[in-house]
Amino acid sequence: MPVTLSQIARAARVAKSTASLALRNLGNVDARTRQRVLRAAEKLGYRPNPLVNALMMQVRTRASPRNRPTIGFVNTWGPPAQEPPGIWNVISAYQAGAQERAEELGFDFETISFQPESMTDQRLGQILVARGIEGLVIAPLHSPFFRWNMNWAPFAVAAIGYFEANAGLSRVFYDYCYCVHEVLLRLERLGYRRVGMHIGRADEERSRGLWTAGFLHYFERCPTAMRAVPFPRIDEYEREKFLAWFRAHRPDAILGFGDETLHWLEAIGVAVPDEVGFVSLAHRMTRLPCTGYDHRLEVVGRVAADVVVGQLYRGERGLPVLPQTTLVEGRWQDGPTTSERRPR
C-alpha cells in the first residue's frame, strides 16, 4: 500500500499541512521540522509521484493570476543609462527569453533589480519570499568577484553564466569552446593564417578561462594551416598596449568583443577587412556592423526558465545535490569585417 500523508504526519508528530509543506520544501517550515518529516517519510518508504507533482503545479499555473506561481529574474546591473548599451542588449535578451518561456508554461514573471552595494542578499531573499516568488533565473552578474550569501532553500534556481559566485547552482550558458572552435574553423576556411584573440581580463574571469581554453585547444587538437599569435595580456580598454601588440605580431584576423578594436585599427589606418579581419565573440554587444557569433541569448534565457520550471515540477528547492550545467550552441553571423583571403 502507498504511504499516506497522514502516516508521515503521525510519525513525524506534525500536522498534515506541515508534513505536506515539508515534503514539497514549501512554506515557513523550519529546517529541523522539515528534516524530521523527511526522515519519517524515508523510514516509511515514501516515494513522491513526479506525475502528481507536475499535475499539481500545472493546476496552480492555470489558477487565477493572484494564485499563479511566479518566476523572478534577478538582475544585478544598474539602470540602462548607467551601463554600456551593449550590456543591456544582452541582459534584455536573456530576460525576454526567460519571460516568454515562463509565461508560455503558465507562470507569472517578475524582474527584480538587486544592487549588492545597497542591499544584502539576505534581505533580497526575504523580499522574494514575501512576494511569493518560487523560482529564480539569475542574470549574469555585474561583478565577476561578487559572492552570494543567500538562503536558497525556498527557491528553484538556475543561473545564467559561469561565475564563481554561482557555484553550487545549476547553470545555463552559451558554449564558449564551441563558439571559438566554430569561429576559427570559419576563418581557416576563409583563408586566414595568423589569428589573435583580444579578451579583457574581466571577460576572461567571467568565462573562467574558457575563451582561452577553446582558442588554444583548437590549435592543439589537430593540424591546421593557421597559427595562433601570442595573447595580449591587457585589459579590454588599453588602447596603446593593444596597438603595440598588433604592430608586434601583425595578425591577419582578430577575435574580440567590442567596437573599440575596430575604432583603434581604423585610427592607425588599418583597413578592415582588407588588411585584417575581425570577428566579434559577442555579436549583440557590438554596435558597429561586423562579422560575429550569435549566442542566441533569448534561447539561453528560455532554457534557464525550463530548468527552473523542471525543478518546480519535481518539488526541488535550494542547492541541488548535483548541480548541472546546460550549454546552448550559437551560430556564425556573416558580416562586413571578414572576407575570403587569396592564397599567398
Report pLDDT digits (tens) over 284-305. 888 899 999 999 999 999 999 9
Top-tier CATH class for 65-173+297-329: alpha beta
Banded pLDDT at 223 (limits 50, 70, 90): confident
Q: In the numeric block, which cell numbers belong to residue 291?
A: 562579422
- Single-letter code of the amino acid located at 65: P
Both ends of the chain: CA-CA distance in Å? 79
Q: In the numeric block, which cell numbers belong to residue 325?
A: 550545467
pLDDT at position 99 = 97
Q: Is 163 exposed, middle or buried (0-12, 13-18, 19+ CB in 10 A)?
A: buried
Burial 223-244 (b: 16+ CB within 10 A, else e): eeebebbebbebebebeeebbe
pLDDT at position 51 = 47
Asked whether residue 111 carries a pLDDT value surpassing 50, the answer given is: yes
Report pLDDT digits (tens) over 254-287. 999 878 899 999 999 999 999 999 999 988 888 8
Least reliable range by pLDDT among 106-120, 188-202, 222-236, 264-278: 222-236
Q: What is the CATH number of domain 176-294?
A: 3.40.50.2300
Least reliable range by pLDDT among 15-29, 40-54, 85-99, 139-153: 40-54
pLDDT at position 54 = 52
Distance (Å, rounded) from C-alpha 205 to C-alpha 153?
28
Domain ranges of the chain: 5-47, 65-173+297-329, 176-294
Residue listed under C-alpha cell 551601463 = 83
Q: Do domains 5-47 and 65-173+297-329 have the same CATH topology?
A: no
In contact, 204 and 212? CB cutoff 8 Å: yes
pTM above 0.75, yes or no: yes
Distance (Å, rounded) from C-alpha 62 to C-alpha 55?
11
Which CATH code of 3.50.50.60, 1.10.10.10, 2.130.10.10, 1.10.260.40 fits the domain covering 5-47? 1.10.260.40
Banded pLDDT at 61 (limits 50, 70, 90): low
Asked whether residue 211 carries a pLDDT value surpassing 80, the answer given is: yes
pLDDT > 90 in the chain, percent? 53
Spatial CB neighbours of 160, under 8 Å, sequence gap ≥ 6: 94, 137, 138, 139, 140, 171, 172, 173, 300, 301, 304
Report pLDDT digits (tens) over 6-38. 888 888 888 888 887 777 666 667 778 888 888
